[in-house]
Structure 1
Amino acid sequence: MKTLLDRPAPTAAADLTLRRGAARVLLDNWTGTSTVPSRTLYPHQWSWDSAFISIGLRHLSVRRAQQELESLFAAQWADGRIPHIVFNPALPHDAYFPSPAFWRSSTAGRTAGAPAATETSGIVQPPVHALAALLVHRADPDESRRRGFLARVHPHLTAWHDYLLVHRDLGGAGLAAVVHPWEAGTDNSPSWDTALTRVEPIAPDTFRRADLNHGQPTDRPTDLDYGRYVRLATDYRTAGYDDRATRFAFAVEDPCFNALLIASEYALAELTAELGGDGGHHLHRAATLTEQLLTRLWDENAGLFKARDLTSGELVDERTISGLVPLIVPHLPQNAVRHLEQALRGPHFAAPGTCLVPSYDLTGHAFDPQRYWRGPAWFNTAWLVHHGLRTHGLHSTAARLREGILTEAARSGFAEYIDPVTGDARGARNFSWTAALALDLLSSTGAGAGLEEAAALREAAVLPALRTVVKESPA
């Protein structure tokens, strides 16, 4: 059985090859304004993808990383939501489904404040953006201050968090709810199965999936799942994307989503202080959210966090990667941290074929090693767990996970995700957040400042090649 200790000692040459390969992926997936997750499967801009991508891009070009975030924020709705997709108008509508013609954001979302000139989806994704903005700022604070980066993004981030904490507090306890499985990021997780049984699916012959043109059906969500996803999005669109007017058939408090909101509230407190303001409001919100996360979503018997179905009021009895990501939250009780670290090493998540963390319980009734978020191990969630381990001083475990992530990124061709049983690469290759987060972990501290890494990349002649392609404009 493969373990986190099985990676051979890295060499400088291997790491340099990995750096160059990761940089090439990000260059190739650049559109001129942002970075697509995949040229084939995901040809538009995705919200939390761009946040992760900016974290890696900061080691290549701070300006490019800033632009990645700002291009996303330019499509923010007036009510504060950051849509999960920003569509590229140069692409045909059938390049991806649901397409701009399905979401109709500029018309159906007009009352909610959707931009008139940019087509987007009407739902959101996990709020990792303030954390990303902070890391981009830390990569070169002088450049960030000179270009006024924080002053520009700060209003977008505060409006985004306000939206989640006001409009999406559907449970009344302070946590943000997701109203579509796609909003959680873990699209077809078994955690959503019970709630989705209440949703009447739209007939599959009424829409045409584009994802199956570029992915294996055995890797992707089923037609039945898709029919329910489309129904939820259609009902939300019919209600004008109004959170108060919509009767949500699906509403869940997800631990990963809320943990990222907490981490980003801490980041926003620091960004506010950097701009000369008082970050105390955000620190208070982070503390309150942490209390509610523990009160509402912690399962002491399971030793991890679980989602809460707001229709039934019950915790969802499934172990998923979402229950481990809250390691990124500072000031968790030591008992919770200890249980979460034990879960990583235990039978539910210690995979035989990869050093990454499976998205679902290896012993669970719905485990599928190939199908999207029902078992496969993902690089972004592994990065988040690594970040959380470091947050709580678990440096030895974090270091082993870091080496595993880098090994898998190189071996898989920057795959979208990994089969946890066989170790085979699955999904798209040359996937942007895989490349970006590998770049981040190649820096001296993984999720820390990026100045030393930027110098190393210049010596490796990566930045000159980047600038040849990018032709960065002066501030």
Structure 2
Amino acid sequence: MKQIPSLLLCILLASLIMACGSKEKASNAVRYQFDHIIDIAYTPDTAVRCTGWFTDQGSWMGFTLPQTDRWVNGFCGPFSIDKRNWMAKAAVTAHFGKAPKEVFTPDSTNYYPGELYLSARSASGKISQQLLFADATTALLSVYADTAGELCFTGNDWAPGTTFALDQTTVIATHPSGEIVSIGFTPDTRITCTDTNYQAICEGGKKVSISLSFFYNEKEKVAGMQKAATVLCQPDSFIQANNKRWEEYLSRILRKDMPKEYDRIAVKSVVTLLSNWRTNRGGLLHEGIIPSHAVGYFVGFWAWDSWRFSVALARFAPELAKNNIRAMFDYQLPDGMIIDCIYTNPEENNARDSKPPLAAWAVDEIFTHTQDTAFVREMYPQLLAYHRWWYLKRDHNRNGICEFGSTDGTTEAAAWESGMDNAIRFDNAQMVKNDAENAWSFDQESVDLNAYLAQEYQLLKKFASLIGQPFEEKDYTADVANYFFDTETGFFFDRRLSDGSFVKEEGCEAYIPLWTGIATPEQMERAMKLLTDTTKFATYIPFPTVAADNPKFMPKGYWRGPIWLDQTYFAIKGLRNYGYNDRADACTKQVFDRLQGLKNGAPIHENYGTHTGECLKAPHFSWSSVHLLLLYEEYGKQANDITK
């Protein structure tokens, strides 16, 4: 071995490192079975496109893979998810030191769950790069070259006005917004900085580790720099921790009896949820999940979104699920109200309305998967106060049946409170003032709201028993199903306050008595006539937001026709509740097989075309991911038939 030239020895060692890494990637982790999980290829220019980013650990920064036809030899970003700034086209690009301006041709790119990978080659050799998150502020970049010699790193196209400083072996790039990117190198690296960029040179022939940290301001930077240094001191331990964490996520949700293409849907759902995970910052006092990081106005926490997210997270990330609930209850008002949404800047919070009461469902799912009675005990008083708030502020005629409403008397906010912003059933609704302060209601009682409250009542009763508390709440829920069921039509509808007449717009609100199980078997049997009618609800993608034969049906009309997967899930789960398991499985297959791009690289969207399965509103949408995960979990399983 001593007779082998040193250069050749370096090449052999580098090749061995790469080969071992490839072997481990191919055989040692579940995540690598799910390559190209979502297409996030995008090389940024001056415009910010709603494309989606790779992000993890609750970080407020994201990265994309470069487009092969607009290649830069590094991961694009970071991108500020809160302030919507590209800090650079690529904060770190890699080249060979002997030819720093050499052109690289892309070899491969990949987005695995929790990891990005790219490789490219030039006349001098091949460079491969791996990116993963060490924690919420720092990403770890690992670089391998198949050729010995120096490697050169520099940034590409920094945002105008960015300033640079050098702190030992860390480059500090400060954006005009005040946000900061720090790029940490190992002590053997030679670094120079100018007014517009930096250059770092180190020896190749080995794995090169670089830290990429993102800080909201100088205070965050001071607190986080030491953690970033720790990542560079022991990079392998952070890589192993990342592998372990993602292995646990996926092992907790994947089934051994499902088709691989359906496994992919489940994994994509987990990836989507965790790409929308944000750690506490500013007015967000706990970590939680946002609806979609790809759309600026969705970078906050919403109430009924959060309850859904925690239902799914309970299965694979229960501590995050708990904090996600706590985040909304941090802003519970003295009268018990949970406000609509909260942001990093509390001045942007919306307290004009609440959202449908699904919080107790989320807490129950967390208890089911963790048996954590301490969390139930913690949340119970707040849940009880929220339950009472509905009857205090949203029951206009004090008959124990509630209405959606608002604190400012506007129909806009009342529609928001229902969660179904432009639903057909509210087209002619008006506002009425209630006898409590800052309380208005729609002049119609809603079936879905009262079905949710009926479920919540039973769960609160269960929680009280679990923690040894007396439960003396008045039961308004026993006759909810009969109250909202129209025997003439055989379906559930809202009712007008003025005369008790039904608002006969056949819509998804009728799924909720089936999902909560409060409908009688006879009512379910009557409803099946509409649910199995191909002109109404048995559409190409089943269970739209309104019956497809409604004259007001709009294929792209938000809540006036498209498929929302939460509502489709509620209907399918309703089928299972009443023993229609084969029908539920058939409907689940329609969802999995017909939604465009679902089994391929397209992101999961906010809603879909009823008759086409086409992707409609916001991509990378969390609550769609939640209900796909629940459909995956329940597919092929015989649920308890509540009629027996």
TM-score normalised by length of structure 1: 0.70
1:249 Cα deviation from its structure 2 partner: 7.3
What letter corresponds to residue 382 of structure 2 in structure 1? H
Of structures 1 and 2, the larger Rg is shown by 2
Does the aligned pair in 2 maintain the 1:389–1:395 contact within 8 Å?
yes
1:182 aligns with 2:416: yes
1:37 aligns with 2:296: no
Counterpart in the other structure of 1:158? 384
Counterpart in the other structure of 1:275? 467
Structure 1 residues 136-194: Cα deviation after superposition (integer angstroms, max 9, x where no partner): 110121xx23xx21111111110011111222111322111111111111111111111
Does the aligned pair in 1 maintain the 2:288–2:321 contact within 8 Å?
no
> 1:182, 1:433 → 2: CA distance?
16
Q: 382-391 or 28-37: which moved more?
A: 382-391
Counterpart in the other structure of 2:569? 383
User: Closer, same or farther in 2 for the Cα pair 1:445/1:72, shift >3 Å?
Assistant: farther
1:318 equivalent among 483, 495, 505 = 505
Does the aligned pair in 2 maintain the 1:255–1:307 contact within 8 Å?
yes
User: Closer, same or farther in 2 for the Cα pair 1:252/1:85, shift >3 Å?
Assistant: farther
What letter corresponds to residue 422 of structure 1 in structure 2? T
Counterpart in the other structure of 1:169? 395
In structure 1, the residue corresponding to 2:383 is in which secondary structure? helix
1:406 Cα deviation from its structure 2 partner: 3.7
1:20 Cα deviation from its structure 2 partner: 2.2
In structure 1, the residue corresponding to 2:262 is in which secondary structure? helix
Structure 1 residues 427-473: Cα deviation after superposition (integer angstroms, max 9, x where no partner): 11111011122223333579999xxxxxxxxxxxxxxxxxxxxxxxx
What letter corresponds to residue 573 of structure 2 in structure 1? H
Question: Between Structure 1 and Structure 2, which shows a larger proportion of helix residues?
Answer: 1
1:88 equivalent among 306, 326, 344 = 344
> 1:80, 1:247 → 2: CA distance?
13
In structure 1, the residue corresponding to 2:461 is in which secondary structure? helix
Does the aligned pair in 1 maintain the 2:531–2:543 contact within 8 Å?
yes
Two-structure CA RMSD over aligned residues (Å): 2.7
User: Closer, same or farther in 2 for the Cα pair 1:320/1:161, shift >3 Å?
Assistant: same
> 2:438, 2:323 → 1: CA distance?
34
User: Closer, same or farther in 2 for the Cα pair 1:24/1:176, shift >3 Å?
Assistant: same
In structure 2, the residue corresponding to 1:175 is in which secondary structure? coil
Equivalent runs, 1:37-436 vs 2, <5 Å: 37-39=291-293, 40=295, 41-89=297-345, 100=347, 119-141=349-371, 144-145=372-373, 148-179=374-405, 180-195=414-429, 244-245=436-437, 248=440, 250-278=442-470, 281=472, 285=475, 288-295=476-483, 297-311=484-498, 313-354=500-541, 356-407=542-593, 408=595, 410-411=598-599, 413-436=603-626
> 1:81, 1:352 → 2: CA distance?
37
| Higher RCO (CA < 8 A, seq sep 6+) | 1
TM-score normalised by length of structure 2: 0.52
Structure 1 residues 378-433: Cα deviation after superposition (integer angstroms, max 9, x where no partner): 11112222332233333222223333344438256321111112221111111101
> 2:428, 2:512 → 1: CA distance?
22
1:14 aligns with 2:261: yes
User: Closer, same or farther in 2 for the Cα pair 1:331/1:309, shift >3 Å?
Assistant: closer
1:88 Cα deviation from its structure 2 partner: 2.3
Does the aligned pair in 1 maintain the 2:507–2:547 contact within 8 Å?
yes
1:36 Cα deviation from its structure 2 partner: 0.8
Counterpart in the other structure of 1:227? none
> 2:383, 2:506 → 1: CA distance?
31
> 2:563, 2:353 → 1: CA distance?
25
What letter corresponds to residue 516 of structure 2 in structure 1? V
In structure 2, the residue corresponding to 1:415 is in which secondary structure? coil
Counterpart in the other structure of 2:41? none
User: Closer, same or farther in 2 for the Cα pair 1:272/1:348, shift >3 Å?
Assistant: farther
> 2:605, 2:435 → 1: CA distance?
36
1:313 Cα deviation from its structure 2 partner: 4.3
In structure 2, the residue corresponding to 1:82 is in which secondary structure? coil
In structure 2, the residue corresponding to 1:308 is in which secondary structure? strand
> 1:448, 1:66 → 2: CA distance?
29
In structure 2, the residue corresponding to 1:417 is in which secondary structure? coil
User: Closer, same or farther in 2 for the Cα pair 1:315/1:275, shift >3 Å?
Assistant: same
What letter corresponds to residue 165 of structure 1 in structure 2? Y
Q: 307-316 or 419-428: which moved more?
A: 307-316
> 2:532, 2:353 → 1: CA distance?
35
In structure 2, the residue corresponding to 1:421 is in which secondary structure? coil
> 2:634, 2:610 → 1: CA distance?
28
User: Closer, same or farther in 2 for the Cα pair 1:349/1:128, shift >3 Å?
Assistant: farther
1:27 aligns with 2:259: no
> 1:301, 1:53 → 2: CA distance?
37
Does the aligned pair in 1 maintain the 2:393–2:436 contact within 8 Å?
yes
Matched-pair identity in %: 23
User: Closer, same or farther in 2 for the Cα pair 1:255/1:301, shift >3 Å?
Assistant: same
1:271 Cα deviation from its structure 2 partner: 1.7
> 1:60, 1:359 → 2: CA distance?
29
Question: Between Structure 1 and Structure 2, which shows a larger proportion of strand residues?
Answer: 2
What letter corresponds to residue 633 of structure 2 in structure 1? S
1:322 Cα deviation from its structure 2 partner: 0.6
> 1:87, 1:413 → 2: CA distance?
24
> 1:344, 1:402 → 2: CA distance?
14
1:263 Cα deviation from its structure 2 partner: 1.4
1:350 Cα deviation from its structure 2 partner: 3.1
In structure 1, the residue corresponding to 2:289 is in which secondary structure? coil
Does the aligned pair in 2 maintain the 1:260–1:328 contact within 8 Å?
no
> 1:252, 1:416 → 2: CA distance?
28
> 1:243, 1:87 → 2: CA distance?
31
What letter corresponds to residue 384 of structure 1 in structure 2? F
> What stretches of structure 2 of length at least 5 have no aligned partner?
1-256, 280-286, 406-413, 640-644
Does the aligned pair in 2 maintain the 1:327–1:340 contact within 8 Å?
no
Aligned length in residues: 362
Does the aligned pair in 2 maintain the 1:56–1:438 contact within 8 Å?
no
Structure 1 residues 88-141: Cα deviation after superposition (integer angstroms, max 9, x where no partner): 218xxxxxxxxx45xxxxxxxxxxxxxxxxx44231111111111101110121
